[in-house]
Amino acid sequence: MTKDDAGNQMWGGRFASGPDAILEAINASIDYDQKFYAQDIAGSKAHANMLKDQGIISAEDAKQICAGLDTILSEIENGTFEFSRALEDIHMNVEARLATLIGPAAGRLHTARSRNDQVALGFRLWVKENMIGLDKALEGLMIAFLDKADEHTATVMPGFTHLQTAQPVTFGHHCMAYVEMFARDRDRVQSAIRRMDQCPLGTAALAGTSFNIDRENTSKALGFAEPSRNSLDTVADRDFALDFLSCASVCAMHLSRIAEEIVIWSTPQFGFIQLSDSFSTGSSIMPQKKNPDAAELVRAKTGRINGSLIALLTVMKGLPLAYSKDMQEDKESVFDASESLELAIAAMTGMITDLTVNVENMKKAAGSGYSTATDLADWLVREAGIPFRDAHHVTGKAVAMAIEKQCELHELALEDLQSIHADITAAIFDVLSVESSVASRTSFGGTAPANVVKQVAFWRERLKN
């Protein structure tokens, strides 16, 4: 490059004047893509070493390039590197600095490479590493739910449909429902990692290169399973980012559901749980209040994360092959979603670990609202041989009577129950308690404490492997 190259040092050769300030503002991505500086530098080192191995650049040049890149890495890490908007992005910032540090050899690094495969590589590596971290964080969250389930295998609470009391369940079973959800999230994350495990480096601008490069070499050096197979697809592909965002969206949706339950359960009206002080906030005006702000914010983060997915889907929609600058708009939504999700998972893990259960309140609520009506009907089917539809009708009458007498089902007198159906005996009272209700639900996947114990053991074993 020469002194009179206007504006941009990398492609300024054919331009008469420097870029307009507005162009620079819309064009520059350095403010956010510096986030994957380490991945960009690792990619450049792998590329330089491969060029040397293939005899495309000299060993001496490769050595200087790698040493220069190491210097840049430490400059960025200790905060002395000066990022320049005029140099657009992380790739050109690093390369320009390399030229200052080592001189002409720096110009050989970009042989058989383009910023198109360079950005596809750096961003993909960042997303891949981030997803490995996400998988780990979800494991921690699963363990928090498992530990809570273990503590409360037999704690009875109301199970809801339509948020109306339905049948008693165990709190352990409820916790294990979330273990299942986050296990599916991890499965999605792991399969996405497998799909993105192809190295883009060497696909160059869009068509590959005429240089005798070795893509297996760089792919292996950068920890990928294999090089990608189609250069056009590779530089135009942001599925790895979309895979991350869709995994993140489903996971955030799951988080929002437990967050919502925490908000409901911690109201004085429900009084099922108590959040620890470290995960609650007070009100500046109402001294009695303890607010579940962290849960509410986890619930709300879902909006940002879903929004990020829709944003990138919309950016990618209708783009012709191969690279278009539109694709530079892929990064901020991914970074924002990643930061939001990481924080949401950490907050949820903390809240679940710390929360205490008001066992008595849960039990009381479990027994109210005629939650054992189905048990009564099932008893009539099993013990009195009545068809289920008729038993349902008889039970309805018993519920109506209890409502009239303003009591619960188990508080009705035997004579009253017998006036509804003569075959009812005192044994009925064994199934009308919430404990016997949950204990009886031993079908596979059911809420019985014995099942919860088995499920906890199943998942503990799974997590070990």
Q: Which stretch binds ligand ARG (CB under 6 A): 184-192, 243-251, 311-319, 322-330?
A: 322-330
Residue 87 binding ligand ARG, by CB under 6 A: no
Nearer to ligand ARG, 224 or 323 (CB): 323
Q: Are 149 and 175 in contact (CB under 8 A)?
A: yes
Nearer to ligand ARG, 33 or 375 (CB): 33
Residue 238 binding ligand ARG, by CB under 6 A: no
Q: How far is the CB of 92 from ligand ARG (least distance, A)?
A: 8
How many Å from the N-terminal Cα to the C-terminal Cα in the chain? 55
Q: Which stretch binds ligand ARG (CB under 6 A): 111-119, 164-172, 282-290, 361-369?
A: 111-119
204: closest CA among 238, 237, 234, 239?
234
| Strands 356-357, 273-274: pairing kind | antiparallel
Catalytic residue among 276, 283, 324, 368: 283
**Rounded CA gap, 55 and 138, in Å?**
45
Q: How far is the CB of 235 from ligand ARG (least distance, A)?
A: 9
Q: What angle do CA 105, 110, 112 make, to 5 degrees?
A: 125
Partner residues linked to 273 by β-bridges: 357
Write phi, then psi, for 229 (nearest 5 degrees). Answer: -100, -20
Nearer to ligand ARG, 319 or 457 (CB): 319
Q: Which stretch binds ligand ARG (CB under 6 A): 220-228, 320-328, 394-402, 431-439?
A: 320-328
Residue 89 binding ligand ARG, by CB under 6 A: yes
For residue 226, give the 3-state DSSP assignment: strand
Show Cβ contacts of residue 361 under 8 Å, excluding neighbours closer than 6 positions.
Answer: 270, 271, 272
Matching residue, tokens 């819309």: 26
Indicate which single residue of 157, 327, 366, 428 sits in contact with ligand ARG (rule: CB under 6 A).
327
Q: Are 155 and 171 in contact (CB under 8 A)?
A: yes
Nearer to ligand ARG, 117 or 185 (CB): 117
**Rounded CA gap, 42 and 128, in Å?**
14
Sign of the CA dihedral running 201, 207, 208, 211: negative
Nearer to ligand ARG, 208 or 446 (CB): 208
Helices (H) and strands (E) in the chain, counts: 19, 8
* Strand ranges in 257-311 using DSSP code E only, listed in sequence order: 273-274, 281-282, 290-291
Q: How far is the CB of 242 from ligand ARG (least distance, A)?
A: 15
Nearer to ligand ARG, 24 or 293 (CB): 24
Indicate which single residue of 119, 391, 409, 438 sits in contact with ligand ARG (rule: CB under 6 A).
119
Task: Give me Rg for the CA atoms of the chain.
Answer: 31
Q: Does the annotation mark 110 as catalytic?
A: no
Catalytic residue among 162, 278, 284, 443: 162
Q: Are 384 and 181 in contact (CB under 8 A)?
A: no
**Rounded CA gap, 222 and 88, in Å?**
25
Indicate which single residue of 47, 113, 115, 301 sits in contact with ligand ARG (rule: CB under 6 A).
115
Q: Within 10 Å of residue 382's Cβ, how many Cβ atoms?
A: 12
Residue 29 binding ligand ARG, by CB under 6 A: yes
Q: Are 272 and 359 in contact (CB under 8 A)?
A: no
Q: How far is the CB of 100 from ligand ARG (least distance, A)?
A: 20
Q: Which stretch binds ligand ARG (CB under 6 A): 69-77, 115-123, 162-170, 297-305?
A: 115-123
Nearer to ligand ARG, 249 or 328 (CB): 328
Nearer to ligand ARG, 150 or 326 (CB): 326
Q: Does the annotation mark 276 as catalytic?
A: no
Sign of the CA dihedral running 73, 117, 189, 292: positive
Q: How far is the CB of 32 from ligand ARG (least distance, A)?
A: 9
What is the total count of residues that contact ligand ARG (CB under 6 A)? 10
**Rounded CA gap, 274 and 263, in Å?**
10
Indicate which single residue of 280, 308, 328, 451 sits in contact with ligand ARG (rule: CB under 6 A).
328
Q: Which stretch binds ligand ARG (CB under 6 A): 41-49, 172-180, 264-272, 323-331?
A: 323-331
391 to 410, contacts with ligand ARG by CB under 6 A?
A: none
Q: Which stretch binds ligand ARG (CB under 6 A): 208-216, 324-332, 335-343, 372-380?
A: 324-332
**Rounded CA gap, 370 and 412, in Å?**
12
Indicate which single residue of 8, 116, 217, 340 sits in contact with ligand ARG (rule: CB under 6 A).
116
Which residues are marked as active site?
A: 162, 283
Residues at the interface with ligand ARG (CB under 6 A):
29, 33, 89, 115-116, 119, 323, 325, 327-328
